[in-house]
Amino acid sequence: MSSLVQSVDWLAIAPPTIAAVVGLVVLVADLFVGEKNKPLLGWVSLAGLAAATLMLLPLLDGDRAEGEQAAEAGGLAVEGGAGLEVVQRGGAAR
């Protein structure tokens, strides 16, 4: 029996996750940091955005067609877009 749990592409969700977490940390830290150290929070924000941008670099490879690999292996793949296309084992696209 195949698993009903979908796999997560952690590399694809890393950049927005890093940006969101760093943003929340900076917002909370802003409540507790003194006026003298507030400019440091700007640098922390820039570092977080730089880290999120760097996490985009591996996505430029372009070889991320897991759905196509699953369809070739005989699995079930759903490809998104304006309309959904379901590719099933041994069958044509519907």
Q: Is the pLDDT of residue 21 over 50?
A: yes
> Among 44, 49, 46, which residue's Cα sits nearest to residue 16?
49
Its sign, for the CA torsion 51, 13, 45, 35, is: negative
In the chain, where are the structural domains located?
1-63, 65-94
Once rounded to an integer, what is the mean pLDDT over residues 44-71? 82
Q: Is the pLDDT of residue 13 over 70?
A: yes
